[in-house]
Amino acid sequence: MGTKRTEAKATSFERFAPELRPVRTAGLTEHFVRQLKDSILRGIIKPGERFPPERDLAAMLKVSRSSLRQALKALQVMGVLEVTQGSGTYLAKSAEAVLREPPDLLVPLRGISFAELYEARRAMEAEAAASVALRATAADVEMLEGELARMRAHLESLRAFVNHDMAFHRQVAAASGNSIFIWFIELAQKVLTKGQIVHSHSINLRDLVADHEKIVGAVRQGDAERARRETLNHLTRARAYAEQQGHVELRVFSPTGTR
């Protein structure tokens, strides 16, 4: 098996290398994504295949390794790349589906960090929860309780738990009646799914269930302020995950617009 995979890596490198062209450092990730998308759609490189080493990629693109590293990190966040410690960087199985999304939906391409996205997520989801507390029907509450019950039932199955956790948040957005909340939460989940699974390894899933129970309780009582507060408390746990990762500093802007 090891020999076969080594041969596949070499073949992928040989096919992919001629496809790469120099790009500007400004907008590096977007340029690189366009080349990558074109190569995937033409079958030059396939999911599961290994990328050339970072040093070689930087030389082909004629950019610094530090600039390339940020672009690769963005692609990893998006779910296009998977990094295996001690082995290398591989094209993820989900790469083609992700890259088929309209360019304007690929948030990390503009250099947005984990921390920025989580901060926006906290603001949007808190308001969505407050809206649900004011507008939820009995059917909405029943659906939220259903996802909560499924989370409780999958405490021993991390991926299933995360799937129901995400479904809960999508249901909150749907029940809010605000299409912007729905759009944003679906987008954030596409970008952060893998990180949520990693994050969930580091915390007690029962604590997450308790967080969701408090949100549902506030919605059931029609208490918008409490729903907002409980959602913020819950997503603070997610923010803590973001701050433990690389390249997640919030970029601070002064009133004049300079950094």
Are 171 and 216 in contact, with CB atoms under 8 Å apart? no
pLDDT at 173: 92
3-7, 21-25, 122-126, 181-185: segment of lowest average pLDDT: 3-7
Taking only the tens place, the pLDDT of each residue in 59-78 is 877 778 877 777 777 677 66
* 247 closest CA partner among 66, 124, 85: 66
- DSSP-derived letter for residue 19 is G
Q: How far apart are CA 176 and CA 127, in angstroms?
A: 9
Taking only the tens place, the pLDDT of each residue in 140-174 is 999 999 999 999 999 988 888 888 998 999 999 99
- DSSP-derived letter for residue 248 is -
Q: How far apart are CA 142 and CA 50, in angstroms?
A: 45
Q: How far apart are CA 3 and CA 252, in angstroms?
A: 49
Strand spans (E) along the chain: 81-84, 88-91
Single pTM value for the model: 0.56
Are 214 and 232 in contact, with CB atoms under 8 Å apart? no
pLDDT at 85: 79
Q: How far apart are CA 136 and CA 53, in angstroms?
A: 52
Q: What are phi and psi of 217, to 5 degrees?
A: -60, -40
Residue located via tokens 């893998």: 194
Give one word for 233, left, alpha or beta, with left for phi > 0 and alpha for psi -120 to 50.
alpha
Domains of the chain: 2-106 (1.10.10.10), 113-243 (1.20.120.530)
Q: What is the end-to-end Cα distance of the chain in Å, rounded?
A: 51
Which amino acid, one-letter code, is at 229? R
